[in-house]
Amino acid sequence: MAFTLDVTSMTEPVVGAGVPAAEWPTLAARFREAHAAVAGIAATGVYGYRELEAQADERARVTTFAAGVQGQYDDIVVLGIGGSSLGAMALRTALLPAAWNARTDAQRGGRARLHVLDNVDPRTIAGVLSIVTLPRTLFVVISKSGGTIETLAQYLVVRARLDGDGLEAARHLAFVTDPAKGALRVIAARDGIPVFAVPPNVGGRFSVLSPVGLLPAALCGIDVEGLCAGATVMRDATMGDDLEHNAAGLFATLQWRAHERAGQGLHVMMPYSDALRDLAPWFVQLWAESLGKINRDGTHVGPTPIASVGATDQHSQVQLFMEGPADKTVTFLRVDAAADDVEIPRLESGEPALAFLGGHTLGELLDVECRATASALARAGRPSMTMTVGASDAWHVGGLMMWFMQATTLAGALYRVDPLDQPGVELGKRLANKDLGHPNFLSEAKGTLPQDAAIPHRRLRVG
């Protein structure tokens, strides 16, 4: 089995505000319109995340480089943020064995540990730098623009350490950035640092299948060709304009419809699989940064994605999903065959609270809990859908990520926004650059605050 999307619990009569049978033709027509809009834009070449064949040469450079340095490093440290780091984190969790970084060299088969910084909190950076052995570490600096202050600050901290220890930059750094522009290109050319290109038409949060996600993955032995093969199959299966046969279109249309017609704009992504748990924050960034915008009609639109994980959050957020405001949809991600399943021992046979568990497996328990939660939500009138993947291997994970990216592109057309831009984050970036003394920061274009002295501050200090 490959992928199955079950949307029964998004429909009437299973849930009250679900899609009634009579509405399907309208939704199918709306989807065809959105699909046509995407197809029109696609002709301009902006959806580079789909062009996996065109990226084969750069992918080959990535795998050749990774094979060439195999055994030279014990630790790979990714420096990056947002779309330049969340994909690597999702791939690490999904495709490397559990507790990878805690395993011995022998248990890792000689492959490197993988750390992803994803922030500028000094605690994390100092913590990672304190446990790696610099002469055995490769730092992969990832920034499409080459101008993101968090990533550049991480780089400066690391570079000073390398220089201070007399270590050669060209052996301990690799860059992933724009093919022609940006500060990282200049430094790479000057210092002979290996550099890999993010195609200009692949945006940060859509870049996991470019060297942004693939270089860290390949360096740890993940099957990048398998990832791209699964993604290609999913891409080809999600290009059509027939709602009932396009799984990405179905996901996008039903989420959009739940938001627009039923006031359910909070979209929970809930993997019942620890391997897939970091796909949820990756999806959250993709869905939020792509769709939360002022749309072409001048309206503030966009769903609010929420990351959750089963069964853990049954003891946390599920209470809210069941009985809180009816403003959410839940998407369950489940794996058909749990890897390395564990049988629950038949112990404590005299104790009814434990005895019945004996003989089942932990994978079975997780799966039963997923189905039970979906059923409980439906009984409470709360919509959900379930995506089942055949296994949590590279092929399926690549397919799943492509499914989400295709769905996001189509949802952009439904919400009437450009899913590829992020104008809303620019002002904060400019203000931070200004405060730090960037010589060329652009003065803010819009949005004002009263002068500080005129603001009646309300602050409470305790202790």
Q: Which stretch binds ligand PA5 (CB under 6 A): 203-211, 247-255, 262-270, 393-401?
A: 203-211
Which residues have C-beta within 8 Å of that of residue 343, sequence separation ≥ 6?
359, 360, 361
- Residue 167: strand, helix, or coil: coil
Q: Which stretch binds ligand PA5 (CB under 6 A): 145-153, 242-250, 297-305, 356-364?
A: 145-153
Spell out a b/e string for 37-65, using b for 16 or more CB atoms within 10 Å of the CB, else e.
ebeebeeeebbbbbbbeebeebbebbbeb
CB of 214 to ligand PA5, least distance (A): 15
CB of 18 to ligand PA5, least distance (A): 32
Per CB under 6 A, contacts with ligand PA5 among 411-430 are 422
Q: Which stretch binds ligand PA5 (CB under 6 A): 51-59, 112-120, 138-146, 399-407?
A: 138-146
Site string for ligand PA5, 94-133 (x = CB under 6 A): ----------------------------------------
Report how many helices (DSSP H) and strands (DSSP E) the chain contains, helices first.
Answer: 16, 12
Q: Which is nearer to ligand PA5, 144 or 277 (CB)?
A: 144
Q: Which of 205, 235, 257, 259 is the binder for ligand PA5 (CB under 6 A)?
A: 205
Cβ burial of 390 (10 Å; 0-12, 13-18, 19+) is: middle
Q: Is position 201 an interface residue for ligand PA5 (rule: CB under 6 A)? A: no
Q: Is position 152 an interface residue for ligand PA5 (rule: CB under 6 A)? A: no
Q: Is position 144 an interface residue for ligand PA5 (rule: CB under 6 A)? A: yes
**Residue number closest to ligand PA5, CB atom:** 204
Q: Which is nearer to ligand PA5, 223 or 289 (CB)?
A: 289
R_g of the chain computed on alpha carbons: 24
Q: Which is nearer to ligand PA5, 5 or 288 (CB)?
A: 288
Q: 364, 369, 429, 438: which is the annotated catalytic residue? A: 429
CB of 91 to ligand PA5, least distance (A): 15
The C-alpha atoms of residue 393 and residue 461 are separated, in whole angstroms, by 51
Q: Is position 143 an interface residue for ligand PA5 (rule: CB under 6 A)? A: yes
Q: 53, 300, 315, 457: which is the annotated catalytic residue? A: 315
Q: Is position 204 an interface residue for ligand PA5 (rule: CB under 6 A)? A: yes
Q: Is position 199 an interface residue for ligand PA5 (rule: CB under 6 A)? A: no
Peptide bond into 122 cis (omega under 30): no
According to DSSP, the β-strands at 266-271 and 304-307 are parallel
Q: Which of 93, 137, 151, 264 is the binder for ligand PA5 (CB under 6 A)?
A: 151
Q: Please say whether the beta carbons of 294 and 300 come within 8 A.
A: yes
CB of 48 to ligand PA5, least distance (A): 13
Q: 172, 289, 293, 328: which is the annotated catalytic residue? A: 289
Q: Is position 433 an interface residue for ligand PA5 (rule: CB under 6 A)? A: no
Q: Is position 9 an interface residue for ligand PA5 (rule: CB under 6 A)? A: no
Query: Which residue matches tokens 């500028």?
Result: 120
Q: Is position 203 an interface residue for ligand PA5 (rule: CB under 6 A)? A: yes
Per CB under 6 A, contacts with ligand PA5 among 45-84 are 81-84
Active site annotation includes 315: yes
Spell out a b/e string for 284-323, using b for 16 or more CB atoms within 10 Å of the CB, else e.
bbbbbbbbbbeeeeeeebbbbbbbbbbbebbeebbeebee
Q: Please say whether the beta carbons of 173 and 77 come within 8 A.
A: no
Q: Is position 289 an interface residue for ligand PA5 (rule: CB under 6 A)? A: yes
- Count of residues touching ligand PA5 (by CB under 6 A): 14
The C-alpha atoms of residue 234 and residue 155 are separated, in whole angstroms, by 36
CB of 298 to ligand PA5, least distance (A): 23
Nearest-5° Cα angle at 26, 23 to 32: 140
Span between the terminal Cα atoms of the chain, in Å = 59
Bridge partner residues of 307 (DSSP)? 269
According to DSSP, the β-strands at 266-271 and 137-142 are unpaired
Q: Which is nearer to ligand PA5, 203 or 211 (CB)?
A: 203
Phi-psi region of 286 (alpha: psi -120 to 50; beta: other; left: phi over 0): alpha
- Give the residue from 170, 171, 174, 159 showing the smallest Cα distance to 211: 174
Q: Is position 305 an interface residue for ligand PA5 (rule: CB under 6 A)? A: no
Active site annotation includes 429: yes
Which residues contact ligand PA5 (rule: CB under 6 A)?
81-84, 143-145, 148, 151, 203-205, 289, 422
Q: Which residues are marked as active site?
A: 289, 315, 429
